């Protein structure tokens, strides 16, 4: 059994190169991912799905390797797959059988004894919200239901790492909301890590604490969103009335970096030991109104766009 | 992750041994197949000839029954290699019928529904997937080919006694070898066609064609070039040749030698394995 250790990375990429024919898809990518929910972002053709497929053992690396919970995907692929769940992007199911039969089959193939597989299949289907429809054949399911069935088969055997490839594709807003809630719940269980590949930055931002951004088979950015969020609390954007150079100079005298933009907006980086009330005191002394004050956070969109510009 | 709790929990129970997972796919396939009454009826029909053979063996050793029926031992079929060869021939022909019914959807359904990534993302390799799918046919067809064949052989040995079994053990070997060779080839052909031909009817037709088309071609090559090489395309001829050698039947016209027959089987098996290896992937990579 693969042991999870909080100090070890979930996934380590070690000069991983994937080549299809003469085309290089992933270019010697290197990095380690430790988040509970890791967002995998990138434009079409960036290599997100190829990376997931390689980690699942579907493609052999041309060179380099990757490790999942410390197990090499080249030599210990089968061992790795005992702790993995996978929800593919495309429709993947067995049409002529009922959903509960399908999920049970997948659980048994993952190594669960027959009785436990049946019990877990029912539980997983109730959990994802298909409890009432579990005896229907998969071929009769709507797109949203198929997505949930795919999620059920991915979690039925209680994997330690779940790969979700575009899980919100084709879902209507309530179904999308439900899917994101489920992902957050699984993440918050604390026992399972998730790799969440998506084009939708908002979905990733809602669920993930770490993102890996791929561009043309290279890692364009790898950042911990939690740390970014914490760091972003130092950036402040103020909308003022009657802001004068004396006002911003006074802010500068506190040791903050600042910039006064033409439309009475002041952007500044707070230094340690400086409080918001200090800003209000200066404003009062300079007869300046602070009409709005925001923590200016780098949204995931900003991070993504910066990464794409590189 | 109990139904009433609606919360996610990892599974922490015991796992089955890796080797036993081979049997999961066949078990599910049988649950699906035996839902149909027609299929059950066909399956039961496959035991008619072994039942008749059992009665013949019984009559051979029961003077009272012969007297009641007013017949002598010489009036009924002798229990020898030919008796068992006919049994194997009849049963393997039925195996072909079952292969045509079951075989064409074995892999094609999974390919059509893109189900292979779901199998292969688990601790279940391509090799295991192919073997599991083969076992669906092999186990089912074995149930009415070599298994009853060997049971009848042991039944005859028990009734005959006096060293009959030791003297005729090669017949048991022939029953098993010929049946298994035939079943493996049938299973491989069915799976290869299933992997490459999407439509069930077309895949069934291809299975028939692989046995029918080589026959005239073999004879044309034989007539034109005065060689038996043409028959090396013909699985039916290879089966007859193998049976002729293993059952030691001189009356059966073996157009191929023992090793040529095995060569034909091996060549077909390799082609099928190659065809399967080209199609059974989690995802097809377009280079």
Which residues lie below 8 Å from residue A260, measured CB to CB, with a gap of 6+?
Answer: A243, A245, A248, A266
Rounded CA gap, A215 and A41, in Å? Answer: 9
pLDDT at residue B230, rounded to an integer: 80
**List of domains in chain A:** 233-300 (3.30.70)
Residue A212's nearest CA partner among A16, A6, A5, A2 is A16
Query: B11 and A90 in contact by Cβ < 8 A?
Result: no
Mean pLDDT, range A10-24, rounded to an integer: 92
Q: What is the mean pLDDT of chain A?
A: 87
Rounded CA gap, A66 and A30, in Å? Answer: 9
Q: Show residues of chain B in contact with A57, CB under 8 Å.
A: 120-121
- Give residue B3's pLDDT band: very low, low, confident or very high (50, 70, 90): low
pLDDT at residue A22, rounded to an integer: 86
B20 touching chain A per CB within 8 A = no
Mean pLDDT, range A290-310, rounded to an integer: 76
- Give how far B11 is from chain A: nearest CA, Å: 4
User: Looking at residue A12, what DSSP letter applies?
Assistant: E
pLDDT at residue A95, rounded to an integer: 72
Q: What residue of A is the nearest CA neighbor of B17?
A: A111
- Give how far A307 is from chain B: nearest CA, Å: 28
Query: B122 and A106 in contact by Cβ < 8 A?
Result: yes
Give yes or no for a contact between A20 and A52, defined as CB atoms under 8 angstroms apart.
Answer: no
| Selected residue with higher pLDDT from A202 and B177 | B177
- Give how far A268 is from chain B: nearest CA, Å: 43
Rounded CA gap, B262 and B115, in Å? Answer: 35
pLDDT at residue A310, rounded to an integer: 66
pLDDT at residue B171, rounded to an integer: 96
Query: B8 and A116 in contact by Cβ < 8 A?
Result: no
Mean pLDDT, range B59-80, rounded to an integer: 84
Query: B109 and A94 in contact by Cβ < 8 A?
Result: yes
A2 pLDDT more than 80: no
B284 touching chain A per CB within 8 A = no
pLDDT at residue A119, rounded to an integer: 93
Q: For residue range A124-166, list pLDDT tens digits in order.
A: 999 999 989 999 999 899 988 999 999 999 999 999 999 999 9
pLDDT at residue B285, rounded to an integer: 64
pLDDT at residue A265, rounded to an integer: 83
A305 pLDDT more than 60: yes
* Chain position carrying tokens 């060293």: B163
Q: Show residues of chain A in contact with B283, CB under 8 Å.
A: 53, 58
3-state secondary structure of A67: strand
| Selected residue with higher pLDDT from A289 and A297 | A289
Q: Which of residues 28-87 of B touch A (CB under 8 A)?
A: 28, 32
Mean pLDDT, range B190-211, rounded to an integer: 92
Query: A110 and B123 in contact by Cβ < 8 A?
Result: yes
Query: What single string gives the DSSP state of each residue in A102-129?
Result: HHHHHHHHTT--HHHHHHHHHHHHHHHT
Query: A81 and B122 in contact by Cβ < 8 A?
Result: yes
Q: For residue range A50-99, list pLDDT tens digits in order.
A: 999 999 999 999 999 999 999 999 999 889 999 999 999 888 888 788 99
């Amino acid at each position: 059994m693969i042991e999870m250790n909080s100090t070890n990375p979930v996934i380590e990429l070690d000069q991983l190169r994937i080549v299809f024919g003469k085309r290089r898809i992933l270019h010697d990518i290197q990095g380690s991912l430790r988040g509970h929910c890791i967002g995998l972002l990138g434009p079409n053709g960036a290599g997100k799905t190829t990376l997931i497929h390689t980690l699942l053992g579907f493609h052999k690396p041309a060179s380099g390797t990757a490790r999942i919970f410390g197990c090499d995907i080249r030599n210990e692929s089968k061992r790795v797959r005992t702790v993995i769940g996978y929800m593919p992007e495309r429709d993947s199911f067995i049409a002529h059988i009922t959903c509960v039969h399908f999920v049970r089959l997948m659980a048994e193939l993952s190594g669960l004894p027959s009785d436990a597989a049946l019990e877990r299949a029912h539980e997983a289907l109730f959990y994802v919200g298909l409890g009432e429809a579990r005896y229907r054949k998969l071929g009769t399911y709507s797109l949203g239901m198929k997505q949930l069935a795919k999620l059920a088969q991915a979690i039925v055997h209680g994997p330690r790492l779940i790969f979700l490839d575009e899980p919100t594709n084709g879902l209507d807003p309530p179904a999308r909301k439900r899917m994101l809630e489920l992902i957050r719940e699984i993440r918050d269980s604390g026992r399972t890590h998730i790799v969440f590949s998506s084009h939708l930055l908002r979905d990733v931002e809602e669920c993930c604490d770490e993102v890996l951004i791929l561009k043309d088979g290279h890692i364009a950015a790898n950042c911990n969103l939690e740390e970014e969020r914490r760091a972003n609390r130092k950036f402040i954007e103020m909308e003022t009335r009657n802001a004068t150079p004396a006002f911003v100079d006074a802010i500068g005298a506190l040791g903050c970096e600042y910039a006064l933009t033409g439309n009475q907006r002041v952007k500044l980086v707070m230094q340690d030991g400086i409080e918001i009330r200090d800003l209000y005191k200066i404003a009062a002394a300079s007869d300046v109104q602070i009409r709005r004050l925001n923590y200016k956070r780098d949204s995931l969109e900003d991070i993504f766009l910066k990464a794409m510009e590189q | 992750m109990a139904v009433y709790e609606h919360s996610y929990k990892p599974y922490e129970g015991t796992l089955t041994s890796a080797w036993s997972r081979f049997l999961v796919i066949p078990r599910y396939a049988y649950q699906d197949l035996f839902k149909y009454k027609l299929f059950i009826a066909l399956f039961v029909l496959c035991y008619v000839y072994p039942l008749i053979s059992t009665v013949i063996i019984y009559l051979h050793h029961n003077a009272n029954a012969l007297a009641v029926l007013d017949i002598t031992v010489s009036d009924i079929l002798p229990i020898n290699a030919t008796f068992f060869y006919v049994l194997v021939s009849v049963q393997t022909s039925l195996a072909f019928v079952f292969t045509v019914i079951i075989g064409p959807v074995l892999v094609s359904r999974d390919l059509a529904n893109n189900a292979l990534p779901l199998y292969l993302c688990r601790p279940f390799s391509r090799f295991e997937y192919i073997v599991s799918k083969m076992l669906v046919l092999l186990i089912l067809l074995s149930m009415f080919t070599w298994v009853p064949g060997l049971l009848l052989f042991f039944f005859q040995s028990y009734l005959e006694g006096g060293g009959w079994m030791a003297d005729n053990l090669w017949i048991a070997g022939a029953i098993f070898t010929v049946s298994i060779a035939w079943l493996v080839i049938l299973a491989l052909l069915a799976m290869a066609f299933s992997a490459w031909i999407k439509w069930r009817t077309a895949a069934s037709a291809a299975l028939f064609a692989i046995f029918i088309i080589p026959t005239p071609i073999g004879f044309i090559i034989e007539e034109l070039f005065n060689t038996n090489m043409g028959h090396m395309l013909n699985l039916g001829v290879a089966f007859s040749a193998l049976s002729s050698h293993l059952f030691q039947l001189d009356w059966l016209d073996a157009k191929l030698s023992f090793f040529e027959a095995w060569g034909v089987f091996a060549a077909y098996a390799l082609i099928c394995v190659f065809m399967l290896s080209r199609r059974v992937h989690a995802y097809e990579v377009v280079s």
